Amino acid sequence: MLNIKNLKVGLAEEDKQILNGVDLNIGEGEVHAIMGPNGSGKSTTSYVLAGKDGYNVTAGSAELNGENLLDMDPEERAAAGLFLAFQYPVEIPGVGNMTFLRTAVNAQRKARGEKELTAGEFLKIVREKAKSLKIDAEMLKRPVNVGFSGGEKKRNEILQMAMLEPKMCVLDETDSGLDVDAMKLVAEGVNALRDGKRSFLVITHYQRLLDHIKPDVVHIMANGKIIKTGGPELALEVEQNGYADILAEVA
Amino acid sequence: MNSLIGKNEISDTLADFFIQPNGATWANNIRSEALVAFNDFGVPTKRDEYWKYTNPQKLTMIPTEPAALFSNDEPPMFESIDRVKIVFVDGILDLSQSDDLILEGATIETLVDATSKDIHWAKDLFGSLEKNGQKPVKRPLAALNTAMAAEGLVIRITDKCKKPLAIRYIHNSETSDALVHNIIKIESNAQFTLLESGAGAARFNSVLEVDVADNADFHHVRTQGRDHERKTVTHIFGRLGKESIFKSFTMTVNGTLTRNDAVLEFTGDNARATVAGATAGDGESFHHDDTVFITHDAVNCESRQVFKKVLRNGATGVFQGKILVKADAQKTDGYQISQGLLLDDNSNFLAKPELEIYADDVACSHGSTVGAIDEDAIFYLVSRGVPRKQAQDMLVLAFLAEAIDEIDSNDLADDINDRLAAWMNRR
Ligand SMILES: Nc1ncnc2c1ncn2[C@@H]1O[C@H](COP(=O)(O)OP(=O)(O)OP(=O)(O)O)[C@@H](O)[C@H]1O
Ligand SMILES: [Mg+2]
């Protein structure tokens, strides 16, 4: 599904290298987790995959189902099936949440040559999905993320993911800022999307989310590289001992 | 049509260029007095403080520069609204294209008719709000208008009008130079909505005097015509009685030079006024100036100034807004916001917000910002699959929305929104 090879990335504006050769292969239907110290390059990896400006790819490649992601505009990557749940979802005053969602859903359908949803069809689906995430109708009417609490913003990300039905979902710290119940809701939302084909890359600091969303593979990122890869037990190890041992081991 | 009807081709001053209309004695006196004032003020120049950001030369040169006509496939504004329609062509009333001048709750006359009657209620209003609005800042082009305008409507509202009156100003001659003067008196408890649209003329100078009595409502929605080369100067003078409402919104796209002055005065307590504008400018020749002066001279009144301008390809937007709160105008709530959204580095937004407050128990706030489109917001939208152009359009409309929200009628607001959305794909 997602194949990242020796990805090296620096900042466009200043002479600073952030990713120093990331390798990552996620197969169809798999769930991978990335953990790692603050500033190790986890969000940067997700941004580069999604196509954010401001980064220079100096080496390596990233492919989604064999297509070169790095050559595409961000909207093309979305249409190809990539989705990023942001660590910090952006507030957009003046753009209604519903208008935004419908525009996005239909833009993707159009890009894939599918029929656009009518207002009625769209409304029906969004209401149903919002309900399961306990997002009330009032919130849907508000401008995108404006006045949403931290947890509401994260649930809104999952709602977008559910509506857009991507193939490859990247979740950047979707658990941070969530209370225990909200985390369960979000995890259920994610699990509901697991169908054996859709793949997930879950960036997190905490083992707790991984109790709910069971990963197949756990990676540790440090200094812009994946330094260790293992099974779910790796997350437990981090939870108990922190990163010191792992960092020392590879040093 | 000869666009120089009513004008002296051989004159070399602006005052001599127009010919003063001849009517009843009272009207002639008002016009002569305005002409004296105009001659006294002199023709405005870019050296005047109030024209610091806008060179008025295109508004004062004689004859006017011609302006190419603009044809488009869009239906005219407000076509879907149930209204009484009145058409002016190059500043001259065209009864053949207009509905009958009949609106329930209103009496509508032409300025020509009203000013030729020996006795008329308009005697006390014609030119009086304009004259009042000359202090403390001189507005010579408004005085010129009062002195020389032969055309316009004189409207008296005695009841709650169910339908709006829609005036359409058609620009039909490349050299037309028009002066239009409208007078509206809204009696106590009456309500009236005025819609205006169209470029009007190659050069269009309009004055609107509105007297809103106690408990009366005035709603005004205006669009200024897409002709690229039009030159426009407008003045709205409003007086608000006790517990009255005055709401004016203007959408401006295209045009070479547009200067919109609004001068409002609260004279009765507990009244509310809004002046708002959404502007979209494209190209170096686009220059748009909103200049607002609101005087609070009564207790517990609320005024709002909400101006949004999106500018691209070297366009310039200007806002000068003042709130003057007199010593007795306690509990005044004055709000003012002006924002420029620059779609490139060549465009400019200049703002001069001013507060002058003599009362001690007031809440006034003003803010002015200028900025580019929020790239993080764009990335958020495109990462969801929205094409970049569409994402930018969404953000531009979102930016303008705060001004459009000041329109009470949803139908009118939707109409305005659609026009602005369409504008983004062409000019
Ligand atoms: N636009 C930028 N300008 C300057 N530095 C940047 C920029 N983007 C990323 N960095 C730097 O790159 C490094 C990696 O940042 P990144 O956000 O990817 O870390 P992270 O692993 O997601 O951290 P966290 O766990 O705190 O979210 C950090 O040192 C960060 O300061
Ligand atoms: Mg991060």
Chain B contact set for A79 (CB, 8 A): 385
Q: Considering only CB atoms, which chain B residues are within 8 Å of A75?
A: 382-383, 385-388
Domain residue spans in chain B? 2-373
Find, among B243, B177, B259, B247, the residue nearest to B210 by Cα.
B247
Domain encompassing residue A150? 2-250
* Cβ of residue B397 closer than 8 Å to a chain A Cβ: yes
Task: Note the pLDDT of residue B3.
Answer: 43
Question: A172 C-alpha to center of ligand 2: Å?
Answer: 7
Q: What pLDDT is recorded for position A151?
A: 83
Cross-chain residue pair A51–B382, CB shorter than 8 Å: yes
Question: What is the token pair recorded at A125?
Answer: 């689906």
Task: Flag whether residue B377 sits within 8 Å of chain A, measured between CB atoms.
Answer: yes
Q: In 3D, which of B176, B187, B157, B180 has the Cα closest to residue B84? A: B157
Please name the residue that has the structure tokens 């000359």: B134
Binning pLDDT at 50, 70 and 90, where does residue A52 land? very high
Task: Say if B401 is an interface residue toward chain A (CB within 8 Å).
Answer: yes
Does the beta carbon of A39 sit less than 6 angstroms from any atom of ligand 1? Answer: yes
Question: How does pLDDT run across B134-161, given as a tens digit for each residue?
Answer: 999 999 999 999 999 999 999 999 999 9
**Secondary structure string (H, E, C) spanning chain A:** CEEEEEEEEEECCCCCEEEEEEEEEECCCCEEEEECCCCCCHHHHHHHHHCCCCEEEEEEEEEECCEEHHHCCHHHHHHCCEEEECCCCCCEEEEEHHHHHHHHHHHHHHHCCCCCCCHHHHHHHHHHHHHHCCCCHHHHHCEECCCCCHHHHHHHHHHHHHHHCCCEEEEECCCCCCCHHHHHHHHHHHHHHCCCCCEEEEECCCHHHHHHCCCCEEEEEECCEEEEEECCHHHHHHHHHCCHHHHHHHC
For residue B5, what pLDDT band results from cuts at 50, 70 and 90?
low
Token pair for residue B216?
């009366």
What is the rounded distance in angstroms from the CA atom of residue B176 to the CA atom of residue B178?
A: 6
d(CA A49, CA A43): 10
Mean pLDDT along residues B9-27: 86
Residues A47-63, mean pLDDT to the nearest whole number: 94
Please give the pLDDT value at position B133: 97
Is A84 in Cβ contact with B390 (below 8 Å)? no
Grouping H, G, I as helix, E, B as strand and the rest as coil, residue B175 is coil
Per-residue model confidence (pLDDT) at position B9 = 64
Task: Calculate how far, in angstroms, residue A74's C-alpha sits from the geometric centre of ligand 1.
Answer: 20
pLDDT on residue A2: 94
C-alpha distances out from residue B396 to A251, B226, B305, B384, B413, Å: 51, 19, 19, 18, 16
Contact B398 A78 (CB under 8 A): no
Which chain B residues are closer than 8 Å to A12 by Cβ?
A: none
| pLDDT tens digits, B219-260 | 999 999 889 999 999 999 999 999 999 999 999 999 999 999
Residue A11 Cβ contacting ligand 1 at under 6 Å: yes
For residue B242, the one-letter residue type is K
Q: What is the pLDDT of residue A34?
A: 95
Q: Do A50 and B380 touch (CB under 8 A)?
A: no
* Interval B318-358: pLDDT, tens: 999 999 999 999 999 999 999 999 999 999 999 999 999 99
State the nearest Cα–Cα gap between A224 and chain B, in angstroms.
23
Tell whether B387 lies on the interface with A, counting CB pairs under 8 A.
Answer: yes
Structure tokens at A200: 């997930």
User: Per residue in B159-210, pLDDT tens?
Assistant: 999 999 999 999 999 999 999 999 999 999 999 999 999 999 999 999 999 9
Distance CA A181, CA B327 (A): 57
A250 CA → ligand 1 middle, Å: 22
pLDDT score of B2: 38
CA–CA separation, B316 vs B349, rounded Å? 6
**Which pLDDT band holds residue B30 (cuts at 50, 70, 90)?**
very high
Which residues are registered as beta bridge partners of A10?
A17, A56
Residue partners of A135: CB distance under 8 A and separation at least 6: A152, A155, A156, A159
What percentage of chain A has pLDDT greater than the value 90?
63
**Alpha carbons B210 and B301: distance in angstroms, whole number:** 18
Average pLDDT of span B399-416: 94
Among the ranges given (B13-17, B56-60, B71-75, B407-411), the one the predictor scored with the smallest mean pLDDT: B71-75
Which candidate in B341, B383, B420 is best for mutational testing of the A interface (most A CBs within 10 A)? B383
Q: What is the mean pLDDT of chain B?
A: 94
Count the domains in chain A. 1
Helix (H) or strand (E) holding B356: strand B348-357
Contact A86 B381 (CB under 8 A): no
Nearest beta carbon to residue B383 from set A50, A103, A105: A50
Q: Which of B319, B304, B241, B238 is nearest to B274 (CA)?
A: B304
Strand-pairing partners, residue A83, are A169
- Do A193 and A162 meet the contact criterion of CB atoms below 8 Å apart? yes
Q: Which residues of B touch A78 (CB under 8 A)?
A: 382-385
d(CA B321, CA B354): 6
- For A250, the token pair is 């590879």
- Give the contacts of B329 (CB within 8 A, at least 6 positions apart): B266, B296, B297, B298, B299, B301, B358, B359, B362
pLDDT at B10: 62
Rounded to whole angstroms, how far apart are CA atoms A143 and A35? 32
Q: Once rounded to an integer, what is the mean pLDDT over residues A162-179?
A: 91
Q: Pick from A9, A13, A14, A18 the residue to mutate for probing ligand 1's pocket: most ligand atoms within 8 Å of its CB.
A: A18
Cβ separation A92–B375 shorter than 8 A: no
Residue A78 to residue B382, Cβ atoms within 8 A: yes
A12 CB within 6 A, ligand 1: no
CA atoms of B356 and A1, how far apart (whole Å)? 65
Mean pLDDT estimate for chain A: 91
Which residues of A fall within a CB distance of 8 Å from B385? 75, 78-79, 104-105, 107-108, 111, 164
Q: What is the DSSP string of B196-239?
A: EES--SSEEEEEEEEEE-TT-EEEEEEE----TT-EEEEEEEEE
Does residue B394 carry a pLDDT above 80? yes
- Which of A79, A90, A111 lies closest to B377 in CB terms? A90
* Among B residues 316-375, those touching chain A with beta carbons less than 8 Å apart: 374-375
Tokens of B238: 């409003």
Structure tokens at B67: 């302006």
Return the closest-CA partner of residue B222 out of B71, B77, B340.
Answer: B77
Closest Cβ–Cβ partner in B384, B387, B399 for A160: B384
CB-CB under 8 Å, A74 with B376: no
Question: A111 contacts in B (CB within 8 Å)?
Answer: 385
Question: Side chain identity at B334, as an amino acid letter?
Answer: G
Spatial separation of the C-alpha atoms in residues B363 and B300, rounded to whole Å = 10
CATH of the domain at A29: 3.40.50.300
Contact assignment for B383 to A90 by CB distance below 8 Å: no
